[in-house]
Amino acid sequence: MQQPSETLTPPARRRTGALVAALAAGVVIGGAGVGAAWALTGGSGGAGGPEADARAACGVLERFEESEYAEKGPAGEAALNRWGAAQALSAAAAAGDERYEPLAEALRKSYHRVLSAFEFDARAKEDLERARGICADL
């Protein structure tokens, strides 16, 4: 018989698993959006090229609030998708033009830091600020 003080699964573990799953879903959805944008604009050339992808990533990043990413409901879902879209668009820009690799790298580092710390800690926020600084210079 189970003792009253025993628990089968710590509540934080279940929340963390759901958060990681939602984060991964946001990245996948963002990647699908980039693929659709590339298909509609004809790939990496012209108006839909790497510069447009970088500017789109920065536009999405401007609307992203890291304080909302763990919220439940529409605000949290929107934040997860914006973050995923910014990462995917920056990666698309870097794939088309190496000048955008620092932007993609900053967002990638922030993403990996959040996955390992399960929050936007100081280092993840520094990487986000670096990405925002790069965006300001575009």
**Domain definitions of the chain by residue range:** 19-36+47-136
SS3 35: helix
DSSP assigned state of 8 = S
Encode the chain (138 residues) as per-residue pLDDT tens digits: 555 555 555 555 555 666 666 656 666 566 556 555 554 444 444 567 999 999 999 999 999 998 888 888 999 899 989 989 999 999 999 999 999 999 999 999 998 998 888 888 899 999 999 999 999 998
Q: Which two tokens stand for residue 128?
A: 């986000």
What gap in Å lies between CA 115 and CA 132, rounded to an integer? Answer: 20
Q: Which two tokens stand for residue 25?
A: 């879903």
pTM higher than 0.85, yes or no?
no
In the prediction, which pLDDT does 40 show?
Answer: 45
| Inter-residue contact 27 to 69 (CB < 8 Å) | no
In the prediction, which pLDDT does 5 show?
Answer: 53
Q: Which residue has the tokens 């998708």?
A: 81
- The separation between the first and the last C-alpha atoms of the chain, rounded to the nearest angstrom, is 63
What gap in Å lies between CA 64 and CA 132, rounded to an integer? Answer: 11
In the prediction, which pLDDT does 37 show?
Answer: 54
